[in-house]
Amino acid sequence: MSEFKCTNEDLNYFNIYGDFQGCFAVPYDTDEEMIKRIMAAMKSYTMGYKKIDYVYNNYAQHWKFDDEKRSEGFIKAHKILVPHLKVMDKLDDSLNNLEESLNLGRFAVIAGITRLRNTFRSIHSLIIKGYHFEAISLVRLLLEQTAWFYNIYDYFDGSFFDIQPHKSIKDLKKIIPDVGKLYGELSKYTHVISTKTFEFIELDKESRNGNSINHIIHLSNDKFRYIAMRLYFNTILVLFNVVQIVFIEYKLDFEFPIEQNKVRKYLEDIGLLLEKNNSIKEY
């Protein structure tokens, strides 16, 4: 049997289950019965049993696992976002393998995109977990960074370090007008304005009339994931467009998966526009 190795990158493909005695990782779409059997095997070993039958037959029926990890939105987010990481890594690799000489501004763009590897992974993790507002805060940061790339790429000295990313949005709007609309929606979620409150707090009718305080606070759900993914991929489209502009005269070993003004088609292709989520807008 060949040696098996698992890296932190591989954990993007797995869910982790366990308790104080130990834990194990399984593919994200593993069914509950398989998870119970693996748990029984692990506990049987720690208890000194050679077979799993005793532990499984007496305890498995009482084990409860996080249903959120196997929801439709969770699995769909995994299927869309995990392969997407490879696309972004390839873009970074292609930029770092450019053989042509670069001015300081373009060098800074490449350095910035390389650093964004951590941002992409953080956004993916937050979206998959359903952490809606936290994910969108990072997406907003990504859009600001992209605008900064556009503003500084043709500089030949370090004077661009005085340019602030959040103030670069207005310049990016000159070539991609809808960036302003996208940035506006990202900001509404980032600042959790009052009109967004009822997206995560559910009150009954009496509560809304002030007669009681019966409520449910949603920390995550599938709707949140779809909203965050829509905003994220629209921002990725802007990034792709900016990279194409910045390096239009260079030979990039990278095939951009989407073209400008093809947002809706791309979202349909990756299965993000679902009938039950037809409120998703196009930017």
Helix (H, G, I), strand (E, B) or coil at 217: strand
Return the bridge partners of 18, or none. Answer: 23
What's the structural domain count of the chain?
A: 2
- Residues 56 and 78 placed together within one structural domain of the fold: no
**3 domain residue, yes or no:** no
List Cβ neighbours of 86 (8 Å cut-off, separation of 6 or more): none
- Residues 21 and 82 placed together within one structural domain of the fold: no
- Residues 263 and 196 placed together within one structural domain of the fold: yes
**2 domain residue, yes or no:** no
- Residues 61 and 136 placed together within one structural domain of the fold: no
pLDDT tens per residue across all 283 residues of the chain: 455 555 555 566 678 888 888 888 888 778 888 999 999 999 999 899 989 999 999 998 888 876 666 667 777 777 778 778 888 999 999 999 998 889 999 999 999 999 999 999 999 888 887 788 889 999 999 999 999 999 999 999 988 888 999 899 999 999 888 899 999 989 988 776 555 555 655 555 554 555 555 556 655 566 778 888 888 988 998 999 899 899 988 888 887 765 544 545 555 554 444 333 333 333 3
pTM summary value: 0.74
Domain-ending residue, one of 24, 52, 67 = 67
pLDDT score at 6: 56
Q: For tokens 């302003």, name the residue.
A: 180
**Cα–Cα distance between 9 and 5 in angstroms, integer?**
11
- Beta strands 14-19 and 201-203, pairing class: unpaired
- Residues 162 and 184 placed together within one structural domain of the fold: yes
**Cα–Cα distance between 82 and 139 in angstroms, integer?**
17
The residue among 57, 60, 212, 192 whose CA lies nearest residue 134 is 192
Helix (H) or strand (E) holding 16: strand 14-19
- Residues 30 and 162 placed together within one structural domain of the fold: no
Q: How many CB atoms lie within 10 A of CB 31?
A: 9
pLDDT score at 16: 83
Helix (H) or strand (E) holding 26: strand 22-27
**283 domain residue, yes or no:** no
- Residues 211 and 270 placed together within one structural domain of the fold: yes
**5 domain residue, yes or no:** no
Domain-ending residue, one of 67, 87, 102 = 67
- Residue pair 130/224 in contact (Cβ under 8 Å)? The answer is yes
- Residues 85 and 209 placed together within one structural domain of the fold: yes
- Residues 75 and 203 placed together within one structural domain of the fold: yes
pLDDT score at 104: 94
**33 domain residue, yes or no:** yes
pLDDT score at 188: 84
Q: How many CB atoms lie within 10 A of CB 106?
A: 22
Q: Residue 102 is encoded by which pair of tokens? A: 């670069």
**126 domain residue, yes or no:** yes
- Residues 39 and 151 placed together within one structural domain of the fold: no
Domain hosting residue 60, numbered range: 10-67
**1 domain residue, yes or no:** no
Domain-ending residue, one of 51, 67, 83 = 67
- Residues 49 and 75 placed together within one structural domain of the fold: no
**14 domain residue, yes or no:** yes
- Residue pair 142/119 in contact (Cβ under 8 Å)? The answer is yes
- Residues 145 and 57 placed together within one structural domain of the fold: no
pLDDT score at 282: 36
